Each structure stands twice: as C-alpha cells, then as structure tokens.
Amino acid sequence: MYTSTYVQKLYINPIIQYGAIPVFLDVTIPQYNIDVAQLEEAYTEKTKAVMIAHTLGNPFDIQAVKLFCDRHNLWLIEDNCDALGSTYTMNGITKYTGTWGDIGTSSFYPPHHMTMGEGGAVYTNNPLLNKLILSYRDWGRDCICVSGQDNLCGHRWDGQFGELPKGYDHKYTYSHFGYNLKVTDLQAAIGVEQLKKFPSFIEKRKHNWSKLYEALKDLQDKIILPAPANHSDPSWFGFLISIRPETGLNRNEVIKYIESKNVQTRLLFSGNIIKQPCFDELRSSNLYRVIGNLMNSDFVVNNTFWVGVYPGMTDEMIDYMAQVIKEAIEK
C-alpha cells in the first residue's frame, strides 16, 4: 500500500488499523504530489494497492500511477477528498479525479468543496467492489436490501452461510467485520442542496486561486508558487506557498504575521507523517516502510504553508490576502 508522506494521517489510519503495511514515498515540489519515480522501488510481491491523495486539488500523475498499477495488477484508490471537480486528461479522454482508479473517496467535512456537515462518499464503477463497500458500510452484512426492504433477491430463507444452519435469515448474515458508516437523511438533504451550488463553488475556487497566483507571481525569487499537474484542470482546495530557504525567512514568522492580519493559514496537514507522535511507538517496528529519505516532505514540514480559496471570498478579500502575504515576505 503506497502513499506519499506529506499529507493525511486520516487515510493512513485505517491502513495501520487493518494491519496492512503502508509504504511512504516522497513528493515533488511544487506539485506536492507523489514522486512517481519511486514507485518501482517501493513495489514488493506483497503490494496490494496504491492509495494516494490529490494534494489540495492538484491531481497526482495519474497516467504514471495507473501504468504502474496495471503493470503489477494493483488496486488504485484515489483519495479525492481535496479534489472534487478536478479533471485529468489521458489519451484524449478527460475525466474527473476519483474516477480513474478502482475506488475514489470524498470528504464532506465543512472545509471541503462541498459539505454535509460531516461524512463523505466512496465511489466505484466495479459492481463487486460496490457490493463490498456497501457491506462494510452496513455492519458487514451479506444481504443487500436497503433499510425497510425485505427479500429483494427472493432467497432470504434458503441460503447456507458460515456454520449457520441452512435457511438462517439472510438479513442477519454477516460476511465481513464492517462498520456503521451510513449518512443520515439530514446530511443527505444538505448534500443535495450543496450539489446544486457545486459548479459555482468550483469556478469561484479556480478564480480565487488564479487571482492569488497573479498577485504573487512577482515574488518567485522569495517563494515557490504551486504548479498544476500536466494534463490537469485542478479544482483547488487551497493555495500552497513555500518559502525559499535561501531568503533566510522563517516560515513560522511569516505565517504569524499573516495570521496577525486576520488571514488564516494552514500547514500541509500532517507534513512528513512519520515524524508525528503517533508514530513514536511504531518507529522501531516493521509496521511501515519508507522509500528514500523523504527530503522533500521534510522541506514541506519546514518551509510550506497554504491559504484558502473558499468560494465565499470576494475579489477584495483575495486582494487583501495577497497584500498581507506580500508584506509578510517583503518586510
């Protein structure tokens, strides 16, 4: 199971909890996505899947990753939580991120492109994976009847499963150790309304990102600006900035100044995740593997931050943000 180190503790947790071995690869800058040159080195016969996030909306090199997965017969899971609405073009076909792999995931936690308050979605076009996903969502049930439905398949009372007697109610037959991950009707109602506004959210996010880029592009001797992946049209989650170390500027001082002017900043989530305290007890174990020295992930930990491109921001607000960032860097 491969992942890049810079981003999310959140999707690594289940890999560890499940007892699988995550393998961490470095990122490239200024894409802040997985360095595909390391993929082959990371592969072993035990490798089952590749799971990677599209960082802050910027698609990873889907073409290279897909070729790698096809070559080794691996599942591809796209963590699309930060990239809903991003597109990627391969062999003349343009598709949304999250639909290139076997499974895509979205988060509808409030800061994301659309929200349901909490919750998320998993998507696939593979009928078998779909059945498995629904089973894991619904306590691990074998039966596919939705709540309130009975005997859809007409075989509720005539199957034989595990060591249960023949004819045991299929409704209460469990083929997996699953969870209860259903969204509520209330969340769904919010999601339906958000979907109507979603296209305008994406346009506004792209607009805000481009406006920030224009305003900051003359500072490239001091900061590294983000770069969209080749063949992509990102639906940006945020705007990443790295301080060039040769400027002698201290990233924390820069963000403290920006925050003092009422502009919020964020670091790139967990940074180099294996440096986090949750790894303290794992460090001497063989419960994870690392490829190379994660030099760029460490660079991100020390020099990178980001600001939001929330669609509710006006041009005036974006101008103010850009002005404050300039002051922080030039003062």
Show which residues are catalytic.
112
Q: Which residue in the set 47, 79, 98, 101 belongs to the binding site for ligand PLP (CB under 6 A)?
A: 79
Q: How many residues form the binding site for ligand PLP (CB under 6 A)?
A: 11
SS3 202: helix
Phi, psi of 135 (to 5 degrees): -65, -45
Residues 6+ apart with CB under 8 A from 11: 3, 51, 53, 79, 81, 105
Considering only residues 84 through 143, tell me which ones interact with ligand PLP, judged by CB under 6 A: 107, 109, 120
Residue matched to tokens 């490798």: 47
Q: How far apart are CA 72 and CA 196, in angstroms?
A: 40
Q: Supply the minimum distance, in Å, between the C-beta of residue 21 and ligand PLP.
A: 20
Q: Which residue in the set 2, 6, 11, 279 belongs to the binding site for ligand PLP (CB under 6 A)?
A: 11
Q: Supply the minimum distance, in Å, between the C-beta of residue 111 and ligand PLP.
A: 7
Only segment of 78-86, 147-155, 260-268, 306-314 that touches ligand PLP (CB under 6 A): 78-86
Q: Which residue in the set 10, 49, 134, 287 belongs to the binding site for ligand PLP (CB under 6 A)?
A: 10
Closest to ligand PLP by CB, 23 vs 56, is 56
Do 142 and 156 form a contact (C-beta atoms < 8 A)? no
Closest to ligand PLP by CB, 216 vs 236, is 236
Q: How far apart are CA 187 and CA 155, in angstroms?
A: 33
Do 309 and 236 form a contact (C-beta atoms < 8 A)? yes
The reply to whether 78 sits near ligand PLP by the rule CB under 6 A is no
Could you tell me how far CA 301 lies from the centroid of its own chain?
18
Phi, psi of 329 (to 5 degrees): -90, -30
The reply to whether 8 sits near ligand PLP by the rule CB under 6 A is yes
The 8-class DSSP code of residue 147 comes to T
Build a one-symbol-per-residue string for 227-246: x at contacts with ligand PLP by CB under 6 A, - elsewhere: --------------------
| Contact positions vs ligand PLP (CB under 6 A) | 7-8, 10-11, 53, 79, 81-82, 107, 109, 120
